[in-house]
Chains A and B, each alone.
Chain A
């Protein structure tokens, strides 16, 4: 059993409703044992006062944006929170999860990279979920015009739509379509939906570990910043060769590979493996039952890397490792694959 403290990163553009969402959660019985870390750009203290119900466990990160020079503070705040969680005699002891609210202008990627680079944190903190909050009034405009907002959605596994009850709100379907254009596999939840449960989003359950599904179609490459695509994999993938390739790829380009996941039939197991990664952080693969899923596939959400580059790179690596039977033949000859190709769901 994984005993590491689950970390839920909550991101979202300025005014999207991150703090309200978190505050509502910690006021519930389920959310009361949450440790909170807050980084609010230029408004240090405001959220601290709002989060009174867990004030003993709030680590307020002052001094500006998370993506700048304060990552050491994020690491220190997480260190402190883990120590508090483990020390039952102190305030904050017995915490069951940590929630980090990023600043509205922050790219959450450096936070995740901070987690990946700190051996102590890696051993004590488990990235459970990255939640992006998108509001129905300004969200569409932000996604169209603000690269920060697109990056926040691209890296999230869950997107929560807020403010759908306001008069100026855009239809949820339009927002969902805009989110899917950036992140086709994101779990999209509407806070107005009667089935919406805060615990499903913020309790730290394994949303990253749900069996993946391929994108039905690659997102159109209208945004050179972020693109998403599916790579079909034929047959059993040579796991040792694949791990060499992917670990090297994440080493060299992890800052541009926002998310990677897949369902793989491998040479190493009779059962399919589900893999998930966020930038430099790969989660332990999960074995599924032999009947789970259809054909093997990998999905990428990347910034500035095209599908054909990844395909050729994988084919080359498998050939170099003497196991090049897994990707479609045209790729190994160096010809670009038909864009938009995706395996049947």
Chain B
């Protein structure tokens, strides 16, 4: 185990990959390894990228990564796709868009399913970010499909969050209006060679104006055509600028605290749930309580209090 951690810290891809798997499976080995790894984390710049299906996120990430590599930075990419709620399986295809990074030693790509997190990110993402960070990656990119909870989760993990919208996909603007406007540090209108780009940029900017009114820093809106490598340089500059801004102000500290808080809550939640629902001691009790609820012999609140009472004792 010590061996695994030291190899991860040296950046050995096999060990990184294996520790990620262990973490995804809540393996006790991973728990103990994560404890050893934490002191070595904190130096990576974590970038969250979210946007609806078809917004060209993977291509954008591919292009961004190429530029990071030119600057001599190493990059870890976590590509997250939804897990099927029916089979529990997942089809993870983001590598298809990143084949040109495949042979670069300075890039590590990992695909993950969302697992059973009701549309949100699997809790293992926190671990994977830390593992890649500790392994020496200068930049860690977390890519999520912008549907629901995952989008809101990513902001807690990322130091810098990019929201991608596309002209002609009206839904993406609608989603912004629906409240996730708050999450972006940078807006990217990708596929800006499509008709309707001016309108989309204008729409996003007016939304930014509303949400930033009274604040001293306005959220930037950039146009890119990732496929033709247009606007990526500017985007990179904007990302660097945001990072510098974070470091200069107290924001960085605040952002990291947000991540650790979310992580802590998540670990406690997960442990508690496991404790209650996986422990055989409670299994029969829960079964019988459900029966009683169905028969109206007890109400769900009283049942829940009964279980919690047993734990809190």
Asked whether A and B interact, the reply is no
Chain A residues within 8 Å of B, Cβ to Cβ = none
Chain B residues within 8 Å of A, Cβ to Cβ = none
